[in-house]
Amino acid sequence: MYSWGHSRRFNSYTEYIRSVFGGRVQKVVVDAGFTCPNRDGTKGNGGCTYCNNDAFNPSYCNPVETIHSQIAKGIDFHSVRYRRASQFLTYFQPYSNTYAPLSLLKELYEEALAYPGVVGLVIGTRPDCVDEQKLDYLAELSEKSFIQVEYGVESCYTKTLQRINRGHDFETSQRIIQQTHDLGIRTGAHFIFGLPGESLDEMMLEAEIISQMPIDTVKFHQLQIVKGTRMEQEYMADPSVFHQFSLEEYIDFIIRFLERLSPSMVVERFAGEVPPQLLHHLSWDLIRYDEVLKRIERELEERDTFQGRRTKDEGRGTKDEGRGTRDEGRET
């Protein structure tokens, strides 16, 4: 048993959610029709250079439909594979889901929370798209429901954020994450490995930087070059400025990164998955995330290592003979 309370060698989001709700909880994505300030001209145009929301937006999402309708279709969609799920988190995922007047946000969030079986919200957004009033409202919601705000940080280096047309610096992420944490709101952050111009050493150093931030949950994705993006054009012009991981190299990198990551942080994902038809090129031979996760866990066992091993606050706890069974399934 590790310090996070189970026998998996990393602080798993699946196990964390089970500990909160007592069973499986399925995320259901909705598209509320938002945009981003680096798309609409407020801070820029074209959005982040890597971004194509079709790469992760489920087929059942349609912003012209109500939140209620999208949740219903999402539950039906997931019921085929996850029949045991009876509790759901509505995931406001595409674009920046706090980038609207507070009155509209209240209407949308409360419509989602009113749907039978929905026990909370996960709100994907940017650190420059919240303010004091919005955070105060989310803090109020979090007193009654599970609320998690997931910030797209992407990189700890402002030079990289400028290059990918992010529209904010890393200091903005640090400040807003601290404010969100201070209000007692569950705080998530998303990072991408392999962004142009970043070395392996710079990427590895991010483990130490992230570990100093008050983040509850983290998602990690390898960079994938998506068709129709400005990054695809940049890649085609000069692929040498990108570090495209092979699967074996990425697994090795993630394990060494995980050893340096604070054991207090819950890991939601280690890698991204884009529909093959949207990728500029296939680098991992159509392998699904479930299999990537299994390989990472298998390698952790073979190396006899775990999250936080190389930190001062290592995650090793005491062995518990009553430990639960291992879950190799998809992360929630």
CATH code of the domain in which 235 resides: 3.20.20.70
The tokens describing 112, both together, are: 């989602």
Q: What is the pLDDT of residue 331?
A: 35
Q: What is the pLDDT of residue 332?
A: 34
DSSP secondary structure string for all residues of 30-66: E------TTTBSSS-BS--TT--GGGT--TT--TTS-
Please tell me the pTM assigned to this model.
0.91
Q: What is the pLDDT of residue 83?
A: 66
Structural domain includes residue 5: no
Residue 129 CA: distances (Å) to CA of 5, 165, 172: 34, 15, 10
Q: What is the pLDDT of residue 85?
A: 72
The tokens describing 220, both together, are: 């990690």
Please determine, for residue 140, whether its predicted confidence score (pLDDT) is greater than 50: yes
pLDDT band at 327 (very low <50, low <70, confident <90, very high): very low
Q: What is the pLDDT of residue 316?
A: 66
Share of the chain above pLDDT 70, in %: 92
Burial class (CB in 10 A: 0-12, 13-18, 19+), 179: middle
Structural domain includes residue 46: yes
Please determine, for residue 329, whether its predicted confidence score (pLDDT) is greater than 80: no
Please determine, for residue 143, whether its predicted confidence score (pLDDT) is greater than 70: yes
Structural domain includes residue 95: yes
Structural domain includes residue 284: yes
Element (H, E) at 150: strand 146-154
pLDDT band at 54 (very low <50, low <70, confident <90, very high): low
Please determine, for residue 318, whether its predicted confidence score (pLDDT) is greater than 70: no
Structural domain includes residue 149: yes
Give residue 280's domain range.
13-303
Q: What is the mean pLDDT of residues 303-326?
A: 67
Please determine, for residue 34, whether its predicted confidence score (pLDDT) is greater than 50: yes
Alpha carbon distance 276, 288 (integer Å): 11
Structural domain includes residue 81: yes
Please determine, for residue 108, whether its predicted confidence score (pLDDT) is greater than 90: yes
Number of compact structural domains in the chain: 1
Structural domain includes residue 83: yes
| Mean pLDDT, all residues of the chain | 91
Q: What is the mean pLDDT of residues 42-69?
A: 85
Alpha carbon distance 211, 299 (integer Å): 23
**Of residues 33, 172, 142, the one with CA closest to residue 96:** 33
- Within 13 Å, how many C-alpha atoms sit on residue 316's CB side? 8
Q: What is the pLDDT of residue 319?
A: 39
Query: Contact at 8 Å (CB) between 52 and 228?
Result: yes
Please determine, for residue 163, whether its predicted confidence score (pLDDT) is greater than 50: yes
Please determine, for residue 328, whether its predicted confidence score (pLDDT) is greater than 70: no
Q: What is the mean pLDDT of residues 81-95?
A: 85
> pLDDT tens digits for 93-102?
999 999 999 9
Structural domain includes residue 152: yes
Specify the residue for token string 């009876």.
Answer: 86
Pick the more confident residue, 181 or 54: 181
Q: What is the pLDDT of residue 56?
A: 64
Q: What is the mean pLDDT of residues 102-110?
A: 98
Q: What is the pLDDT of residue 312?
A: 83
Largest CA distance in the chain: 58
Please determine, for residue 103, whether its predicted confidence score (pLDDT) is greater than 60: yes
